[in-house]
Amino acid sequence: MPVIYKYSAATECSLKRPFQMLIGGAWVNAESGETLETRNPADGSVITTIPAGDKVDIDQAVVAARRAFENSPWAGMTPGIRAKLLWRVAELIEEHADVFAELETLDNGKPLKASRALDVPGAAAYFRYWSGWCTKVSGQTPQLDLPGEFMAMTLREPVGVVGLITPWNFPLLSAASKLGPALAAGCTAVLKPAEQTSLTALRLGELLMEAGLPAGVVNIVTGLGIKAGAALAEHQGVDKISFTGSTAVGKSLLVASQGNLKRLTLELGGKSPTIILPDADLDRAIAGAAHAIFRNAGQVCAAGSRLYVPRRQFDYVVNGIVSMSGDYKIGPGSDPETTLGPLVSERQRERVLGYVDDARQDGAQILTGGRAYGNAGYFVEPTIIGNVKPDMKVVQEEIFGPVLVVTPVDDLEELAALANNTIYGLSASIWTRDISSAYKLARRIRAGTITINSGNIGGPNIPFGGFKQSGWGRENGVQGIESFTELKTVITAL
């Protein structure tokens, strides 16, 4: 019997209010009056509608953000006051944790347990971390190597109006991880959340206003990527785009942003390897490998979607992961027992199943799963595919679902080459008891994050980003805030 979850009164109330866009401090519909339906991935039902913003709305939002930047109600505030406001946002997220967790699960499908334990507290942690940076952005005083007396200094100034474009896998967390450093640096922003999962970003906008951010400092425009997102990326009034999403769309932003040569941070796709060395604690590694691919139903940019294991340990490890895949409780995120929720949309489910079909046709072997699950909603069984060849699509391309491809390895010297054999370079994890082998291998893998005896973990102070076609730049930590600044040099002859 499916468990019927009763949403809190606060969430019911939140759902009854309209979801509108935030432009210049006002809550508005799209100028065109058009809306988009947003669906519950657990059963396909329509939750509500959101405004279908387009170029016109983006234009208004950029004008509002530009005005707020030039008039300096935000960058002109003392850093300590800005810090207090961002800290207040964190507190407000925590005060409304139930609503945010429930909305996120309803909109994205992820287990409520995960929304409560990770997404919502994570978003608060991001605002708290970035609050601290408001008072710490600073320049340097380099010595000039010239005759005469000079004083040189560098200033870190906000880059200006920033466009923040986020994906659907961690909607609230992605919004927080971009808004936090942008605001700490003194920028003003236009946020374009993913069309499938805009609800928590819009409710976050309410908290930003309640915390006391001046009108126009943060604007939120919902709508389709090809309309609202593309208009933001092309806009001459935007100084920087920070984008998280697919490599294909990331590449299109290079063209879109060239008009005014805006700065770009690109957090893109991945096809990350999990590598188990012969001396690893195999049972820990099995659990880690399963979690790395099945967490968030595989909709994680750093998901461990390729597995490499020495041939001697291969059957033991793969059987272990197959067995663990059977332990996942598939169901709606609102069921407290659920550990594997649906994919975000019907389109994503079909895309994932299409990859599995391709693999079948190419002669790969489906070791477990490989099918849609249930009669309603967008569920896919945890899937493991063996007998793959390195050039198969299923090995080379990001699937973004609960699908693991497994490869036995005969020569350990080949591991780095195998790990590096895709266009991506986001992350990798290595399982071994020999830390020296782990470091040696870590140095040879071209990826932005390498974890040893752990799946992918991180936080607001841990730089994150990709080598190769996994992106440009790094988010989080000092690199994260610097990417929202311009460096100015001032030299004075004394």
Q: Does 224 bind ligand NAP (CB under 6 A)?
A: yes
Amino acid at 436: S
Report the DSSP beta bridge partners of residue 493: 150
Let me know if 37 is a catalytic residue: no
Distance, in Å, from the CA atom of 277 to the CA atom of 279, rounded to the nearest integer, reads 6
**Region of 11-19, 241-249, 437-445, 483-491 interacting with ligand NAP (CB under 6 A):** 241-249
Q: Quickly list H helices, 71-170.
A: 79-95, 97-108, 112-114, 120-133
In degrees and rounded to multiples of 5, residue 407 shows phi and psi of -135, 125
- Write down how long the chain is: 494
Nearer to ligand NAP, 256 or 318 (CB): 256
Nearer to ligand NAP, 107 or 335 (CB): 107
Nearer to ligand NAP, 81 or 226 (CB): 226
Residues 6 or more apart whose CB falls under 8 angstroms from that of 9 comprise none
Q: Does 400 bind ligand NAP (CB under 6 A)?
A: yes
Choose which of 249, 293, 428, 438 interacts with ligand NAP (CB under 6 A). 249
Phi-psi region at 487: left, alpha or beta (left = phi > 0; alpha = psi -120 to 50): beta
Q: Does 191 bind ligand NAP (CB under 6 A)?
A: no
Residue with tokens 């249930």: 374
Q: Does 267 bind ligand NAP (CB under 6 A)?
A: yes
Catalytic residue, candidates 195, 267, 381, 475: 267
| Element housing 86 (H / E) | helix 79-95
Closest CA to 362 of 385, 335, 342: 385
Tell me the C-alpha to C-alpha distance, in Å, between residue 210 and each of 173, 175, 234. 19, 17, 31
Choose which of 185, 217, 268, 297 interacts with ligand NAP (CB under 6 A). 268
Choose which of 51, 53, 270, 304 interacts with ligand NAP (CB under 6 A). 270
**Region of 47-55, 95-103, 264-272, 334-342 interacting with ligand NAP (CB under 6 A):** 264-272
Residue with tokens 């930047």: 69
Q: Does 230 bind ligand NAP (CB under 6 A)?
A: yes
Nearer to ligand NAP, 244 or 485 (CB): 244
Distance, in Å, from the CA atom of 68 to the CA atom of 358, rounded to the nearest integer, reads 51
Task: Indicate the residue whose CB is closest to ligand NAP.
Answer: 225
**Region of 5-13, 109-117, 221-229, 429-437 interacting with ligand NAP (CB under 6 A):** 221-229
In whole angstroms, the minimum distance from the beta carbon of 403 to ligand NAP comes to: 14
Site for ligand NAP in 109-168 (CB under 6 A): 165-168
Tell me the C-alpha to C-alpha distance, in Å, between residue 430 and each of 5, 161, 309, 368, 382. 39, 40, 10, 24, 22
In whole angstroms, the minimum distance from the beta carbon of 378 to ligand NAP comes to: 14
Closest CA to 128 of 168, 171, 92, 78: 92
- The residues carrying an active-site annotation are 267
User: Residue numbers of the site for ligand NAP (CB under 6 A)?
Assistant: 165-169, 192, 194-195, 224-226, 229-230, 233, 244-246, 249, 252, 267-270, 301, 398, 400, 426, 466, 471
